[in-house]
């Protein structure tokens, strides 16, 4: 039987972890922006995502979904984010992982973030449904 590895964020990355966990879950956080322009500013031009369904989504598709959510907001009152960890992939590029519970649905999330001169940018995101905890 295989156990999940225990993930530990290195001490020297704690500030990065603290900054990024405040931005997650991405596209559902109030800090994501209130307009398409705000959201587009925090996503790199060649961003893409793999949703929990396994589907691949383009930057434009994600921005369209965010536009729709602004007109019909999702109730997120029972959502819980936990188990945040960060790993440096390259200078100023970080992988943030966490678990998100949305009511009965449990997913593991991964976001690749890049620190740029004008703030944090999202490079890639993936959500994977967890069958059991």
Look up residue 99 and give its DSSP letter: E
How much is the pLDDT for 128? 93
pTM of the model: 0.87
Class assignment of domain 11-129?
alpha beta
pLDDT digits (tens, 9 = 90+) for 35-85: 889 889 999 999 999 998 899 999 999 999 888 888 887 777 788 999 999
What are the extents of the domains in the chain? Answer: 11-129
Give the per-residue SS3 of 37-79: HHHHHCEEEEEEEECCCCCEEEHHHHHHHHHHHHHCCCCCCCE
* 117/63 Cα distance (integer angstroms): 22
Average pLDDT, the chain: 88
């Amino acid at each position: 039987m295989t156990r999940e590895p225990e993930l530990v964020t290195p001490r020297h990355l704690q500030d990065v972890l603290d900054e990024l966990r405040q931005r997650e879950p991405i596209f559902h956080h109030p800090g994501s922006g209130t307009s398409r322009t705000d959201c587009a500013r925090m996503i790199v031009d060649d961003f893409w995502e793999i949703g929990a369904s396994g589907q691949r989504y383009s930057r434009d598709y994600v921005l369209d979904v965010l536009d729709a959510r602004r007109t019909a907001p999702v109730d997120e009152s029972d959502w819980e984010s936990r188990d945040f960890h960060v790993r440096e992939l390259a200078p100023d590029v970080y992988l943030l992982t966490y678990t998100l519970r949305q009511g009965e649905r449990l997913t593991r999330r991964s976001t690749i973030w890049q620190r740029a001169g004008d703030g944090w940018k999202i490079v890639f995101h993936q959500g994977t449904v967890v069958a059991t905890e």
